Structure 1
Amino acid sequence: MAVLKVIEVLANSDESWEQAAKNALDQASKSVKNIRSVYINEQSASVKDGKIDDYRVNVKITFEVK
């Protein structure tokens, strides 16, 4: 039986929500092993001069505890 744990990570990108999610995973992967999935819990963006300036995601990362 596998034991799984979930952490919540906030990340951003000036390119896209997809890139923000990748940034969250890349950063979490530096200290968390056995990552199984990433769930995008929430998306938001900041606006500057009528254009999206920064994409933000709140993701839940699931990993196996060994």
Structure 2
Amino acid sequence: MSVARVTTITARSTTSFEDAVRLGIERSSETLRNVSGAWVKEHKVSVSDGAITDWQVTLEVTFVLD
């Protein structure tokens, strides 16, 4: 039997949504043990002068409790 917890984080990249997801997972794995998955809950972009400057994701990160 295992018990998991879900926490919400946001991550931002100046490259892409995929990069923002990767950065969010990498960073959360530095703090949380046993990260087992994530759900991309929301996508957002920042725009300046008609061009995208940042890609942001909100992630629901799941980790299994010890």
Same fold? TM cut 0.5 = yes
The aligned counterpart of 1:33 is: 33
The aligned counterpart of 2:17 is: 17
Number of aligned residue pairs: 66
Q: How far does residue 33 in structure 1 lie from its aligned partner after superposition? A: 1.0
TM (norm. structure 2) is 0.96
Tell me the alpha carbon deviations over residues 7-28 of structure 1, each in whole angstroms, 9 at most, x when there is no partner. 0001100000010011111111
The aligned counterpart of 2:61 is: 61
Amino acid in structure 2 at the alignment position of 1:57: V
TM (norm. structure 1) is 0.96
* Structure 2 unaligned residues grouped into runs of 5+: none
Q: Distance in 2 between matches of 1:11 and 1:35?
A: 16
The aligned counterpart of 1:45 is: 45
Percent identical pairs in the alignment equals 30
Q: What do you get for the CA RMSD once the two structures are aligned? A: 0.6
Tell me the alpha carbon deviations over residues 9-50 of structure 1, each in whole angstroms, 9 at most, x when there is no partner. 011000000100111111111111111101000000000111
Corresponding residue SS for 2:21: helix
Q: Does 1:5 align with 2:11?
A: no
Q: Distance in 1 between matches of 2:58 and 2:31?
A: 18
* Structure 1 unaligned residues grouped into runs of 5+: none
